[in-house]
A and B are shown apart, each in its own frame.
Chain A
């Protein structure tokens, strides 16, 4: 019997298969680099994974079909499973190659999840000892995760109905639910176009500067556009010790902390696109104020001269404010924010929690939600005096519907709940309070480095194995903005209930 004759209707498997197939080109690119490099030996691991991903993806895709339309209840399971499966397959090159042994499977998985979720935390003690191709794959995982595999899949699916937009919304940070084109797949394609454009721009800018090769440019272009924060060097961006490269990265990170919809509108001629968005204005204001506060405190506390204080404060505020997580610690240890004053660290913690704009590639709880919660608080304070007053919440000129306000708070409560639970578990394994709390925030916000013992010069091996697994889970939950992971079984549960009811009725 031909298994391809009558495909099974399963939107989840169908999209997962498609996403897996799309990993293959990236793996081949990494294989080519590994082959071209003199020091490396992991080309077969990369090539093998490429073949496995493509074959498995192709078979799954051919044996399943999407069905007429994607229902709201299936959206979450599609998104969650796509990410989990891609993270699992993405870890294979690390395991097949020389990066991790089989008994260190959790390390490979951590590295893969940290990559796809654009977090940037690492458990590699010596990054530079690995092959250039494998490291490029590590950069690429972040690039895939930045805009999102589901958006990528949607861009090639020609026949999605209303469910398509819901799918993209469920895979949150890569975009907002604004349509850029009447067709969902066209919207997805345009978003990827902007994404590729920014990646290329950063790559070329970095490459054109002294000290950096084309490889460096491309590697950092990928992770800057994704606001991921992986670097093929142990000391991250500090490797170059170049203020010019840092400035390019800062510009790239800020750009990618802003909604890609605004970028597209700006690029297609709407000059007021950024100015009109209240969220973009708030985001830039937040970064500016934080930069000023941090720079002044650092300078006053005499940690560095004025120039260095400004340079390091700018880089750190932007890298943490956009949830990227590059480090710029130089050989002499300057630029390490872990040793900065306590007041600065509290500012940095707040920045890590807030994150970038909705519709950007950055993580965190998003400026939009902070803005709404701030406005809600002002409204509550006004209501103290005017009990019967009706005060609509407005962003810019547009009133925000009450259900959006509720949904923002629902998210924030869950976000803080997960941060609290995560910190409790990590602290229970014996890590101090600052490190465990900041690590949980860092994982939920897809940040990368944390404070305390897990700073930019450290790796996450300071945590116990169970703590690392919990942090990896938090990364996925944070990247998919909680709901997708919590509701991933909703579709299966409904089908099970439906089936049971049918059986009872037949009897």
Chain B
């Protein structure tokens, strides 16, 4: 009889009901969001030729119906564990990515499923990686891509800033570093936190949109580009990205918008509240701005033709790389090798923590630097007990351990990604494969070297790139946690069933 009450069955008994909610709720929510996106895009498409409006309307009805139906039946789970949160976030982003793929198929932008997957994953993960000719896409689809980017940016921010720290009590996934007083003021309760983040995000989008309008873009382009800027998405409505407008004012608006989008949202909050002390104490901000300044000067010297235009192009390129947005005015692979290496490094490091951008992030890089310096000092004083200080306070050893683990993970994923990209298409040069891998993992998107036609690469390459983008958007640890949790739970279920059949 004892085996009937095995630990696995007891766990299962406790877990069954909420487990289904964890799966059904994010899917339902994403479906509802997809329905709304389809509806808005269908309306926007009507302002143009309206060819895809019917298909999108059908999409809106189907997704909206499923979403609304499920949302009424499933209650919002009260989330208490990190694995559950990360499972939900991963599921939601995956469903949205599949929705994006469906939109590309519905709009006849492509008829290959793998291409649609790549094109659908890119916007939701805020990556500007596309093999399609934006000029030839219907307006509805362009709007859909902009909306997905916008949601991807907001979703990423909420997961990073609100959900993880609150659910996990600040201990888990702390590598993102939401421990400052200013941020705690930004977020001191779940609902209030989401409201604050969303308010700043929406206000920022409106401001950038107005700035684009003033700079001379049309209404549609302004809205789409504002969404792509604040989310650090970077997918333009034109094939040539910002070069299509050939307007210095537009480029300056984009550059400033991207630089701000790459900031820690806590920093934006302090600026809004005029908290100078917090700003001054923030090492990450100083390093971010310092690197930005140096990189702009270096790149401007490299480009060198005509001071004003060189500085403008350099500023746009550097802010685009550092915030992992991906707007361009000129192909990066035309630059000198040194400039390419610089941009690839900036892409890899990415933006600040708790920003809409991706990448390795400056906080971790600073922690790594401090960690290495401490080891250097330990060579001279082996028994010295010292701490690594960032932002004026000691970093916990646990955080440092997580950071070092993340370095291994990051390097492994980049190398494995490069290998898989190569295996999918042997025509890609090794440096292009590694740069694609870095670019996708940091959710930036532009190709830095030896351009590859993404439309014609092999299926393995496309799937790998999509996976890398998702990993980059949700943070590698988070996805790993979700996947491991899924595997462990499934194993428990199998074990449980095995026990039951044994009992019978």
Residues of A within 8 A of B (CB): 72-73, 76, 301, 341-343, 345-347, 349-350, 373-374, 376-377, 379-381, 384-385, 387, 403, 406-407, 409-414, 416-417, 420, 423-424, 427-434, 436-437, 451-452, 483, 486-487, 490
Q: Are A424 and B484 in contact (CB under 8 A)?
A: no
B282 at the interface (CB under 8 A from A): no
Q: Are B405 and A385 in contact (CB under 8 A)?
A: no
Q: Are B402 and A341 in contact (CB under 8 A)?
A: no
Q: How far is the CB of A462 from chain B (nearest CB, A)?
A: 13
Q: Are B430 and A451 in contact (CB under 8 A)?
A: yes
Q: How far is the CB of A434 from chain B (nearest CB, A)?
A: 4
B371 at the interface (CB under 8 A from A): yes
Interface class of chain B by DSSP: helix
Q: Are B430 and A345 in contact (CB under 8 A)?
A: yes
Q: Are B430 and A424 in contact (CB under 8 A)?
A: no
Bound-state Cα–Cα, A276 to B481, Å: 34
Q: Are A346 and B485 in contact (CB under 8 A)?
A: no
The residue in chain A whose Cβ has the minimal distance to the Cβ of B302 is: A428
Q: How far is the CB of A398 from chain B (nearest CB, A)?
A: 20
Residues 359 to 373 of chain B near chain A (Cβ within 8 Å): 368-369, 371-372
A-B contact pairs, 5 of them (CB 8 A): A72-B380, A342-B428, A346-B433, A387-B171, A433-B341
Q: Are A434 and B341 in contact (CB under 8 A)?
A: no
B1 at the interface (CB under 8 A from A): no
Bound-state Cα–Cα, A446 to B405, Å: 26
B4 at the interface (CB under 8 A from A): no
The residue in chain A whose Cβ has the minimal distance to the Cβ of B402 is: A380
Q: Are B338 and A429 in contact (CB under 8 A)?
A: yes
Q: How far is the CB of A316 from chain B (nearest CB, A)?
A: 15
Which of A343, A412, A429 has a CB less than 8 Å from the CB of B422? A343
Collect the chain A residues with CB atoms within 8 Å of residue B369's CB: 413, 417
Give the number of A-B contacts (CB < 8 Å). 144
Q: Are A385 and B337 in contact (CB under 8 A)?
A: no
Bound-state Cα–Cα, A428 to B298, Å: 10
Bound-state Cα–Cα, A345 to B429, Å: 9
Q: How far is the CB of B400 from chain A (nearest CB, A)?
A: 8
B404 at the interface (CB under 8 A from A): yes
Q: Are A431 and B337 in contact (CB under 8 A)?
A: yes
**Can you list, as one digit per residue, whether each of B331-344 has a CB less than 8 Å from chain A (1) or not (0)?**
00000111011101
Bound-state Cα–Cα, A403 to B429, Å: 40
In the A-B complex, list the 5 residue pairs whose CB atoms are closest, starting with the nearest: A410-B375, A428-B338, A380-B405, A343-B422, A427-B341
Q: Are B340 and A433 in contact (CB under 8 A)?
A: yes
Residues 382 to 416 of chain B near chain A (Cβ within 8 Å): 382, 401-402, 404-409, 411-412, 415
Q: How far is the CB of B482 from chain A (nearest CB, A)?
A: 10
Which of B82, B382, B426 has a CB less than 8 Å from the CB of A384? B82
In the complex with contacts A76-B379, A346-B433, A406-B375, A423-B408 CB distance below 8 A: no
Collect the chain B residues with CB atoms within 8 Å of residue A377's CB: 405, 408-409, 412
Which of A72, A374, A403, A433 has a CB less than 8 Å from the CB of B431? A433
Q: How far is the CB of A415 from chain B (nearest CB, A)?
A: 10
The residue in chain A whose Cβ has the minimal distance to the Cβ of B372 is: A413
**Can you list, as one digit per residue, whether each of B412-436 has a CB less than 8 Å from chain A (1) or not (0)?**
1001001100110010111101110
Q: Are B422 and A487 in contact (CB under 8 A)?
A: no
Q: Are A433 and B408 in contact (CB under 8 A)?
A: no
Residues of B within 8 A of A (CB): 82-83, 171-172, 336-338, 340-342, 344-345, 368-369, 371-372, 374-376, 378-380, 382, 401-402, 404-409, 411-412, 415, 418-419, 422-423, 426, 428-431, 433-435, 448-449, 477, 480-481, 484-485, 488
Interface class of chain A by DSSP: helix
Q: Are B408 and A342 in contact (CB under 8 A)?
A: no
Q: How far is the CB of A404 from chain B (nearest CB, A)?
A: 11
Q: Are B376 and A385 in contact (CB under 8 A)?
A: no
Q: Are A413 and B376 in contact (CB under 8 A)?
A: no
Q: Are A414 and B336 in contact (CB under 8 A)?
A: no
Q: Are A483 and B372 in contact (CB under 8 A)?
A: no
Bound-state Cα–Cα, A342 to B429, Å: 6
In the complex with contacts A343-B419, A346-B434, A384-B481, A411-B375 CB distance below 8 A: yes
Q: How far is the CB of B353 from chain A (nearest CB, A)?
A: 18
Collect the chain A residues with CB atoms within 8 Å of residue B401's CB: 376, 380
The residue in chain B whose Cβ has the minimal distance to the Cβ of A423 is: B341
Q: Are A385 and B345 in contact (CB under 8 A)?
A: no
Q: How far is the CB of A337 from chain B (nearest CB, A)?
A: 11
Q: Are B342 and A376 in contact (CB under 8 A)?
A: no
Collect the chain B residues with CB atoms within 8 Å of residue A436's CB: 337, 341
In the complex with contacts A73-B380, A346-B434, A385-B488 CB distance below 8 A: yes
Collect the chain A residues with CB atoms within 8 Å of residue B83's CB: 384-385
Bound-state Cα–Cα, A417 to B375, Å: 14
Query: Which of A72, A342, A410 has the most CB atoms of chain B within a 10 A radius of its CB?
Result: A342
Query: Which of A409, A437, A452 has the most CB atoms of chain B within a 10 A radius of its CB?
Result: A409
Q: How far is the CB of B331 from chain A (nearest CB, A)?
A: 15
Q: Are A483 and B337 in contact (CB under 8 A)?
A: no
Collect the chain B residues with CB atoms within 8 Å of residue A431's CB: 337
Collect the chain A residues with CB atoms within 8 Å of residue B379's CB: 72, 76, 483, 487
Which of A346, A429, A452 has a CB less than 8 Å from the CB of B419? A346
Bound-state Cα–Cα, A72 to B379, Å: 8
Bound-state Cα–Cα, A432 to B449, Å: 9
Bound-state Cα–Cα, A412 to B408, Å: 10
Q: Are A413 and B341 in contact (CB under 8 A)?
A: no
Bound-state Cα–Cα, A54 to B433, Å: 52
Q: How far is the CB of A387 from chain B (nearest CB, A)?
A: 6
Bound-state Cα–Cα, A434 to B450, Å: 11
Collect the chain B residues with CB atoms within 8 Å of residue A373's CB: 404, 407-408
Q: Are B431 and A437 in contact (CB under 8 A)?
A: yes
Q: Are A417 and B430 in contact (CB under 8 A)?
A: no
Collect the chain B residues with CB atoms within 8 Å of residue A342's CB: 422, 426, 428-430, 433
Q: Are B371 and A487 in contact (CB under 8 A)?
A: no
Bound-state Cα–Cα, A347 to B415, Å: 9
Q: Are A407 and B378 in contact (CB under 8 A)?
A: yes
